[in-house]
Amino acid sequence: MIALILSVLSSSAIYIAFKLFGKYKVTTLNALIVNYFTAFVLGIIIQGDVSLEGIWVATSKDWFYGSMALGAMFILVFTLMVITTQKGGMSVVSVSSKMSVAIPVIFVIVYYNESLGLLKIIGIITALISVYLVSVRKKKGLSIDMKYFIFPLLVFIGSGIIESSIKFLENTYVPNNEISLFSASTFFFACVTGLIVFGIRKFKHKANFKRKDLLGGFLLGIPNYFSIYFFILALRIEGLDSSSIFIINNVSIVLLSTILGILFFKERMIRKNWVGIAVAILSIVLITYTQ
């Protein structure tokens, strides 16, 4: 359970970092590139072999091409999230990314034939309801021009594919002594993909890195690395189904991030958000009780 708690804490720290990016006008893509490079270096250091040979050995692993695709997906989904925010606002992208937990939950239940009792079904449904209620900060709910609906849909699908892929790769190909190397490899390819996107943007808009982008990216890279590292460890907790881990992890992140937003950023809550918090707690209790 310690790994699960650390995964939630790391992911919530990422939320704080992004809030600070907005406050200090950090260029998010630039910071993400630095963040992924920082996470890559951290993973190599934790793996224990910082030599070129030690890094190159990743290319011979069965999970290598999977980590390559996963890293590229990180940047792709981020780009889609930016477009969704521009077309529909923060609530739309928040709901579409957080509700995507339904995809890995369905995946592990079907693919790994996990148990599914009545209480667990109720827990999953209440968890999805809670995510929606906590994420929507407008009384009228969500609104988006239907001609742009494809973007939140792609964010939903892409985010779900990322979490499902992490589960499949870690369960099928990644032994315990290669978790750091796998994570480092994934972040490396996210960094490379981000540099390609940056190059295209620089060609079109003359984008540049600022000092605060470098600092912000470095500070983000530390919790970002551990969010993946501890999440993989959490998926290996004995006595808890992976579907339950996905739900508890995601709902707990939503809960803690919301609390941090209230405490440190004076975020305003409406009635449905408070209802969502109560429903989230209920869903965690139900999911945990079914184990």
Please state, in angstroms and rounded to a whole number, the distance separating the CA atoms of residues 212 and 198. 16
Which pLDDT does position 17 carry in this prediction? Answer: 92
Query: Three-state SS for 282?
Result: helix
Among left, alpha and beta (phi > 0; psi -120 to 50; other), residue 266 is left
Distances (CA, A) of 91 to 1, 82, 135, 248: 30, 12, 6, 21
Quote the pTM value. 0.91
Which pLDDT does position 291 carry in this prediction? Answer: 63
Which pLDDT does position 141 carry in this prediction? Answer: 66
Query: Three-state SS for 138?
Result: coil
Contacts 24+ apart (CB under 8 A), 98-101: 98/131, 98/135, 98/250, 98/254, 99/128, 99/131, 99/132, 99/156, 100/155, 100/156, 100/157, 100/158, 100/159, 100/160, 100/163, 101/127, 101/128, 101/131, 101/160, 101/163, 101/246, 101/247, 101/250
Between the two ends of the chain, the Cα-to-Cα distance in Å is 13
Token reading at 176: 């315990």
Asked whether 245 and 234 are in contact (CB, 8 A), the reply is yes
- HEC sequence for 105-125: HHHHHHHCCCCCCHHHHHHHH
Domain ranges (residues) in the chain: 2-289
Which pLDDT does position 143 carry in this prediction? Answer: 66
Token reading at 181: 């190397």
Please state, in angstroms and rounded to a whole number, the distance separating the CA atoms of residues 289 and 291. 6
- pLDDT tens figures, 218-251: 999 999 999 999 999 999 988 889 999 999 999 9
Asked whether 247 and 105 are in contact (CB, 8 A), the reply is yes
Which pLDDT does position 208 carry in this prediction? Answer: 80
Which pLDDT does position 148 carry in this prediction? Answer: 75
Among 99, 176, 102, residue whose Cα is nearest residue 133: 99
Q: Which residues of the chain have pLDDT under 70?
A: 50, 141-145, 206, 291
Which pLDDT does position 123 carry in this prediction? Answer: 92
Which pLDDT does position 282 carry in this prediction? Answer: 93
